[in-house]
Amino acid sequence: MKKIQLILLFVFSFIIGSFAQGIVKEKQVIKSAILKRDVHYTIYLPSDYYTSERAYPVTYLLHGHGDADDGWIQFGEVNRLADDATKMGKIPPMIIVTPEGFGSFYINAADGSFNYEDFFIKELIPHIEKTFKVKAEKRFRGISGLSMGGYGSLLYALKYPHLFAAAAPLSAAIWTPDQIKEMSKSQFDGYFINSIGKNLTGAERLTPTWLANSPLGIIEKKSKEELSAVKYWIDCGDDDFLTIGNAQLHIALTNKNVPHEFRMRDGAHNWTYWRTGIIDALAFIGDSFHQK
């Protein structure tokens, strides 16, 4: 009888585990003193979050230009993908935070009117670590994102290597200086008018703000030892309009002998590509959470 009960308990536990789903909380609010406004974020919690006494590693997952904090859930289906990957043991249980980034490119505006970077580092991360059961250490903190968010995740890892163990930018919005100078006015203004400046053309666009936030420029100035403080996973489609910038990023890191993973898969700048790449990115970040 006892043997039968144990078998039934095992089967029941297996069934429950197979259908366990992570918890998604959309449109959470942090009142930002720096931005002088409420900022939304969506958070994914592992399925056992409320029944476990453990704390979890965290990955900040940044959305692209024109999207919002719930984009990774609604279009990227990251909650479903993370559920499946966690059950299969491909990624460890982790908290995933997707904050509203507006059109900020996740940097401080040149005129100081919207200092998103300060908000992220000084307010958002402390808020998440105070509010949720998070392992508040560099080795348990990762960052990823797509397009504008890929740029933001890469930039934060380069600027704040003491905060992040790994970064996995997807289709990162990286342009060379020549590409910035040659970019059409409508495209440049659409992306950067609120962060870099207005009525800029040609070399005028390479302002101190742009230069201070250029991943390629930062990599050029840092040593191999400084750059190697974070593990990097770079992924961009071969039909993406950002292919050149991402290839240059790979070359720049290679020239510095910085260990990193570079993937150029078949695909373009769309959700199909990001949905098929996000779990590999999270698995790379998750591997950095493990003890070697």
Give the Cα separation of 195 and 197 in Å (integer): 6
Beta carbons of 90 and 285 less than 8 angstroms apart: no
Task: Give the three-state DSSP class for 6.
Answer: helix
Q: Out of 17-21, 68-72, 245-249, which region has the weakest mean confidence (pLDDT)?
A: 17-21
Dig out the tokens for 87 from the structure: 């059950």
Structural class in CATH, domain 22-289? alpha beta
Mean pLDDT computed over 141-160: 98
Dig out the tokens for 273 from the structure: 């590509």
**110 to 186, 213, 214, 249: CA distances (angstroms):** 19, 11, 14, 24
What are the tens digits of pLDDT across the range 191-222? 999 999 999 999 999 999 999 999 999 999 99
Beta carbons of 218 and 226 less than 8 angstroms apart: no
Give the Cα separation of 96 and 253 in Å (integer): 27
What are the tens digits of pLDDT across the range 226-262? 999 999 999 999 999 999 999 999 999 999 999 999 9
Task: Give the three-state DSSP class for 3.
Answer: helix
* Sign, CA torsion 154/156/160/166: negative
Mean pLDDT computed over 162-179: 98
pLDDT above 90: residue 15: no
pLDDT above 50: residue 66: yes
What is the number of other CB atoms lying within 10 angstroms of the CB of residue 6?
A: 10
Query: Using CA atoms in the order 174, 32, 53, 11, what is the torsion angle rounded to 10 degrees?
Result: -60
Beta carbons of 170 and 153 less than 8 angstroms apart: no
Dig out the tokens for 261 from the structure: 């993973």
pLDDT above 80: residue 166: yes
Question: Tell me, what DSSP letter sits at residue 162?
Answer: T
Beta carbons of 123 and 33 less than 8 angstroms apart: yes
Task: Give the three-state DSSP class for 134.
Answer: strand
Beta carbons of 144 and 285 less than 8 angstroms apart: yes
Mean pLDDT computed over 113-142: 98
What is the number of other CB atoms lying within 10 angstroms of the CB of residue 203?
A: 11
Task: Give the three-state DSSP class for 28.
Answer: strand
Smallest CA-to-CA distance from 209 within 64, 71, 133, 105 is with: 105
Look up tokens 């050149």; give the residue: 244
Classify residue 175 as left (phi > 0), alpha (psi -120 to 50) or beta: beta
